[in-house]
Every structure is written in C-alpha cells, then in structure tokens.
Amino acid sequence: MIAKQVLYSGRVQGVGFRYSTKQIASGYEVTGTVKNLPDGRVQLQVMSYDADELEAFLAAIDESNLGSLIKEREVTTIPAMTGLRGFVIER
C-alpha cells in the first residue's frame, strides 16, 4: 500500500476543486480524502495498492480543468490510512 499527501495551493477553494477531485477518483482504484484547509490550500490524502494507479490519478488531476487553478503542489509520502473506505470529501 502506498499513500501520499498533496497540498495544493492557488485558486483551489470555492471553485469545485474537492468535488472534481472526487469525480476523478471514481475512475481509479484509490481511497482517500480531500478537504479545504484554513490557509486557503486543499489537502488530498490518497492511497492505492498500485503505485502506478496512484500516480495516474495524481496526473489526471493535473491534466484536468483543475490544473490551471493549481499554483503549487507539495507531495509527501505518508503512512497508509486505516479504516477508510472509498473517497470522501471532508468538511
């Protein structure tokens, strides 16, 4: 299991970023969460059994209409999340 956290900055809040990310996730074998942070960034935590699938999902976000809204992305490897099913928008 591989898990990553991506912090997106730019014009990423109030533009449907979380909803669009969830829609993109539905096409991949990934599990995770996406939420707005108080500082204006969006936090994505995602995991998959297949590293290539995870990277393809992250690339799909960049190549979607969201790509033009992203100014920076900070990607880190994190421990696998437990007790999570599906892909969830956190409030």
Active-site annotation, residues: 18, 36
Residue with tokens 């990607």: 75
Q: In what order do the strands lie in the sheet with 2-10?
A: 70-78, 2-10, 42-48, 31-36, 87-89
- Report H helices in 5-81: 17-25, 51-63
